[in-house]
Structure 1
């Protein structure tokens, strides 16, 4: 293998590497949000004084929504992590194909497709989490408006 054969492969690998960087930043935001959800749920469960300051039944309703948010966040993180895995495999496959001189365009297409599907699934679950958080906000807003 000479440099003329390697340069196009390096150029092709730059795209997935940028994708990995961007997805990593989104994963960071998701894990931070997931941590906040679990911290809030833990605070409501372990601190009866905090739950007592909320109007009747609001703590239980909020805990139920937080459980849904945690589940959604966990699956979003899993999906986006799988997307990262497929993007990293794509880079490895690009170099392997070039090194061995194979014509496996289907493998590149399959890995990129899997990467994008997992990424889109994770983003959809992330949006679901955002909508659930707005539901919690509206719930507490209406409960305090009645006071």
Structure 2
């Protein structure tokens, strides 16, 4: 096998890993976002037995919102990982098609399209988590204002 041919094969199969690196950073961000509500749920559940009766309903509602956020982030992470799997398969198929001299372009197009759809879906879930976070913050602000006034 010629060196030039091998370089072309490696370029075709390695280039998608740039996308994997970017998605990997999103996954890192998402795992950090899921860690915070998980810790808060544990703290609120620890506070619950000693909480005044007037705060129990609020604490339970906060736990429910935080649990919903965890679920949403789980789906965001799932779809990001699916995008990484699709891009990895694209890389494998590109490499195999070059080495075996086969035309597998339809599979590459299908998997790359799947990667993009998965990434977009993941970002939609991330936006929903941010929306819920801000809504929950608004509720907390209103609650604190009510306690002051």
What is the match of residue 129 of structure 1? 129
Give the Cα separation in 2 of the matches to 1:38 and 1:135. 18
What is the match of residue 84 of structure 1? 84
Deviation at 1:90, TM superposition (A): 1.1
CA RMSD, Structure 1 to Structure 2 (Å): 2.0
Deviation at 1:50, TM superposition (A): 7.8
SS at match of 1:146: helix
Going from structure 1 to structure 2, the CA distance change for 1:51 and 1:84 (only over 3 Å counts) comes to farther
Moved over 6 A (4+): none
What is the match of residue 34 of structure 2? 34
TM-score (norm 1): 0.91
SS at match of 1:57: helix
SS at match of 1:47: helix
Q: Is the 8 A contact 1:13 1:91 kept in 2?
A: yes
Q: Which runs of no fewer than 5 residues in structure 2 stay unpaired?
A: none
TM-score (norm 2): 0.89
Deviation at 1:44, TM superposition (A): 0.6
**Number of residue pairs matched by the alignment:** 147
Q: Which runs of no fewer than 5 residues in structure 1 stay unpaired?
A: none
Give the Cα separation in 2 of the matches to 1:118 and 1:2. 37
